[in-house]
């Protein structure tokens, strides 16, 4: 229950910290990188406190993780291509659609 409350509090303060970071001059990619590095450090710390090895995977789990990563990566690239096609002019969009297919 404590982790749920911590997670909800952290999620609720995201907008506040983002506003402060933008005011100090951080860009969107810098802020996201900072958030992910901070989250990774927290997860590693939690794994060490709970005496778990975060690098120990079974072969089947590792294959599933790589497969899911490949699917998500491919689908996100398709979304980015389609969004860029929508945001650009009709001539450029038709070229992007043809080369991406």
Domain containing 2 equals 1-56
Q: Are 47 and 53 in contact (CB under 8 A)?
A: yes
pLDDT tens for residues 79-96? Answer: 777 766 666 655 555 555
Q: Are 96 and 81 in contact (CB under 8 A)?
A: yes
Q: Are residues 51 and 62 in the same domain?
A: no
Q: Are residues 62 and 80 in the same domain?
A: yes
Q: Are residues 41 and 14 in the same domain?
A: yes
Q: Are residues 47 and 64 in the same domain?
A: no
Q: Are residues 97 and 86 in the same domain?
A: yes
Q: Are residues 84 and 41 in the same domain?
A: no
pLDDT tens for residues 40-94? Answer: 998 889 888 988 887 788 888 889 989 998 998 888 887 777 766 666 655 555 5
Q: Are residues 76 and 35 in the same domain?
A: no
- Using N-to-C axis directions, what is the helix angle for 90-100 and 59-87, rounded to 10°? 160
Q: Are residues 64 and 74 in the same domain?
A: yes
- d(CA 29, CA 16) in angstroms, rounded, equals 17
Supply the pTM of this predicted model.
0.49
- Using N-to-C axis directions, what is the helix angle for 2-12 and 14-23, rounded to 10°? 40
């Amino acid at each position: 229950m404590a982790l749920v409350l911590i997670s909800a509090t952290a999620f609720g303060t995201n907008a506040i910290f983002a506003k402060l970071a933008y005011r100090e001059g951080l860009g969107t990619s810098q802020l996201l990188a900072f958030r992910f590095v901070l989250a990774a450090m927290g997860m590693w710390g939690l794994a060490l406190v709970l005496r778990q090895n975060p690098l120990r995977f079974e072969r089947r789990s590792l294959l599933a993780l790589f497969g899911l990563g490949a699917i998500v990566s491919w689908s996100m690239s398709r979304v980015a291509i389609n969004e860029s096609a929508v945001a650009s002019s009709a001539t450029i969009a038709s070229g992007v659609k043809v080369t991406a297919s």
